[in-house]
Structure 1
């Protein structure tokens, strides 16, 4: 008896420009790292992450409180898309958009692989229990963390 061929997941076969909006959005693992305040060193151009989250980030779910209207609530919110993903240098190494762009596979804890949106938190990848809201933070320079690394 012949074994049916295994169908490759869409992120391995579909270029960003051909993904449906639902496919594109499903690549987000829900870690919340892109919603953290980032600083750029003026001398080295290095991106420094803080543990300060945008006021719109729900620190428990690591989801935007009003995703649909985020740009009107937080005007400098960067909307990731197929056209700008290659120019953004501050996404963490674990970001699915960067992994797929480089031809790498998604990690076991990614909801598209695990089938469970909780695995990103269980694996300790998300900002849950690590971040504070910008409404409670002082100076960003006092909140620089090293548990996140930006992409190369």
Structure 2
């Protein structure tokens, strides 16, 4: 698969390379989300540490095929521990996956070839193996909290082969 270059139609850097995150419009901020769904997997945090374990159990609002929230507008009201990313908290959230565009841009890195803003295609995040499509084992509606340990997986904290660069 040919990896497209970052959009630069008039010799100008794309907004995520030329703007500080705090200066992005709401639409620009929202477009940084690649639609992978990794942050919508249930996570367990080790007591007394910042160590996070991902599970293959999704939030009840995650659509496992589109890898998008089924009620994004009302997600915080419907899911008590749903975290809204902001410019103020982006660097404090330790559990974001390494592929997360918000995390990458906050660290001064560029978006990867599969990100929809780079590729122009929302499906490249799935084609590159970044998204949770086909990897969600169950919804949190079907797995009691005391059984989440049985669903711990390591892939959300890894880069799929060929996804970098």
Per the TM superposition, whether the score is higher than 0.5 is yes
Question: Aligned pair 1:87/2:92, yes or no?
Answer: yes
**1:83 counterpart SS class:** coil
Matched with 1:17 is 22
Output aligned runs, 1:42-121, within 5 Å. 42=47, 44-121=49-126
* Kept in 1: contact 2:50–2:94 (CA 8 A): no
CA distance, structure 1, for counterparts of residue 16 and residue 50 of structure 2: 31
Matched with 1:149 is 157
Corresponding residue pairs, total: 147
Offset of residue 136 of structure 1: 2.4
Any stretches of 5+ residues in structure 1 without a counterpart?
none
* Kept in 2: contact 1:59–1:133 (CA 8 A): no
Instruction: Return 28-37 or 130-139, whichever deviates more.
Output: 130-139
CA distance, structure 1, for counterparts of residue 134 and residue 78 of structure 2: 24
**1:77 counterpart SS class:** coil
From the superposition, tell whether residues 124 and 117 of structure 1 become closer, same or farther in structure 2 (CA, over 3 Å): same
Any stretches of 5+ residues in structure 2 without a counterpart?
1-8, 159-165
